[in-house]
């Protein structure tokens, strides 16, 4: 009797869950949620086709160096690279002397303490130093950027979905807010101090357009510095900062696959040799 009652209670519980699920699904189908401004006007980045993409991808050091120049002259005033050291630049083709010069001439110096007075001081950067933050702390960073905290860019292309394409799209995506958006969603008008960018999650971003004109950076190799080119190059540089060993990892993967193919062939040959005289 107790067992029968338990079965009936369980059956009733399952029935209630089924009815609730059916009601929820029916309601969602008959009365779908209204589309938000973000869902309707948000755009998705397209593939910019960097040489580092794909299984056999490798960095184009000339492009990565151009991207570093864009970071140095445009982005470094607000964004840090706290996981990257100056000496890491040797991996993208800079010589030891060039790395030392870059570190020594970097505008922002390393914070330190004067050993004689005990007061805060600064010193020149050396290759082993990581890129210094443009602000002494978060409070100062927010105070200088309308209370918005500029994110560290070291791992940005890993921290965002479709990161490298997202960075390029964001940098080139600033535009006037569409009139249709304001008509359809009056409450979605871009607030004062923010900037409309359809590639940003909520369409409005605190960062003003960093790339404002062609030729903003004078490339050392003579490449035409259009806004699109500068955005591509700095995207390539930030792909490298997020995964500097990408080329070595791809090479190791290819070598491993070749080894496994050879090993499989040798195992098959050994099997055939050992069992060649055995009749089935």
Domain of residue 177: give its range: 37-81+149-248
For residue 200, is it within any domain? yes
Average pLDDT (34-59) is 82
For residue 52, is it within any domain? yes
What is the structure's pLDDT at 25? Answer: 64
Q: What is the mean pLDDT of the chain?
A: 89
If one counts the domains in the chain, the total is 1
What is the structure's pLDDT at 212? Answer: 95
Q: How confident is the model at residue 23 (pLDDT cuts 50, 70, 90)?
A: low
Average pLDDT (220-236) is 96
**Residue 23 or residue 69, greater confidence:** 69
For residue 183, is it within any domain? yes
pLDDT tens figures, 179-214: 888 877 877 788 888 999 999 988 999 999 999 999
What is the structure's pLDDT at 249? Answer: 85
What is the structure's pLDDT at 30? Answer: 59
For residue 16, is it within any domain? no
* Residue 28 scores a pLDDT above 70: no
Question: Does 1 belong to an annotated binding site?
Answer: no
Report the distance separating Cα 239 and Cα 154, nearest Å: 9
For residue 65, is it within any domain? yes
Average pLDDT (63-77) is 97
Average pLDDT (119-139) is 93
For residue 102, is it within any domain? no
What is the structure's pLDDT at 15? Answer: 75
For residue 88, is it within any domain? no
Q: How confident is the model at residue 177 (pLDDT cuts 50, 70, 90)?
A: very high
Q: List the CATH number of the domain containing 196.
A: 1.10.760.10
* Residue 237 scores a pLDDT above 70: yes
For residue 231, is it within any domain? yes
Percent of the chain surpassing pLDDT 90: 61
What is the structure's pLDDT at 188? Answer: 79
* Residue 8 scores a pLDDT above 80: no
* Residue 29 scores a pLDDT above 70: no
pLDDT tens figures, 93-116: 999 999 999 999 999 999 888 887
* Residue 31 scores a pLDDT above 60: no
Average pLDDT (247-251) is 84
SS (H, E, C) the chain: CHHHHHHHHHHHHHHHHHHHHHHHHHHHHHCCCCCCHHHHHCCCCCCCCCCCCCCCCCCCHHHHHHHHHHHHHHHCCCCCCCCCEHHHHHHHCCCHHHHHHHHHHCCCCEEEECCCCCCEEEECCCCCCECCCCCCCHHHHHHCCCCCCCCCCCCHHHHCCCHHHHHHHHHHCCCCCCHHHHHHCHHHCCCCCCEECCCCCCCEECCCCCCCCCCCCCCCCCCCCCHHHHHHHHHHHHHHHHCCCHHHHHHHHHHHHHHHHHHHHHHHHHHHHHCCCCCC
* Residue 238 scores a pLDDT above 80: yes
């Amino acid at each position: 009797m107790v067992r029968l009652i338990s079965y009936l209670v369980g059956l009733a519980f399952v029935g209630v869950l089924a009815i609730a699920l059916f009601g929820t699904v029916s309601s969602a189908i008959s009365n779908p949620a209204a589309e938000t401004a973000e869902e309707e006007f948000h755009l998705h980045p397209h593939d910019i086709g960097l040489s580092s993409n794909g299984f056999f991808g490798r960095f184009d050091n000339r492009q990565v160096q151009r991207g570093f120049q864009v970071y140095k002259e445009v982005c470094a005033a607000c964004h840090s690279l706290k996981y990257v050291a100056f000496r890491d630049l040797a991996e993208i083709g800079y010589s030891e002397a060039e790395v030392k010069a870059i570190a020594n001439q970097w505008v922002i110096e390393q914070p330190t303490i004067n050993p004689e007075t005990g007061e805060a001081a600064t010193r020149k950067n050396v290759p082993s130093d990581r890129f210094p933050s443009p602000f002494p702390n978060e409070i100062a960073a927010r105070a200088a950027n309308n209370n918005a905290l500029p994110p560290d860019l070291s791992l940005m292309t890993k921290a965002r979905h479709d990161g490298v394409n997202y960075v390029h799209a964001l940098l080139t995506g600033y535009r006037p807010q569409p009139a249709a958006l304001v008509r359809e969603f009056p409450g979605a008008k871009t607030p004062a101090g923010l900037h409309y960018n359809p590639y940003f999650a909520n369409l409005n971003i605190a960062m003003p357009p960093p790339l404002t004109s062609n030729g903003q950076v004078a490339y050392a190799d003579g490449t035409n510095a259009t806004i699109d080119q500068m955005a591509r190059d700095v995207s390539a540089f930030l792909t490298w900062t997020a995964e500097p060993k990408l080329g070595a990892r791809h090479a190791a993967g290819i070598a491993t696959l070749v080894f496994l193919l050879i090993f499989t062939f040798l195992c098959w040959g050994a099997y055939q040799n050992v069992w060649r005289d055995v009749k089935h």
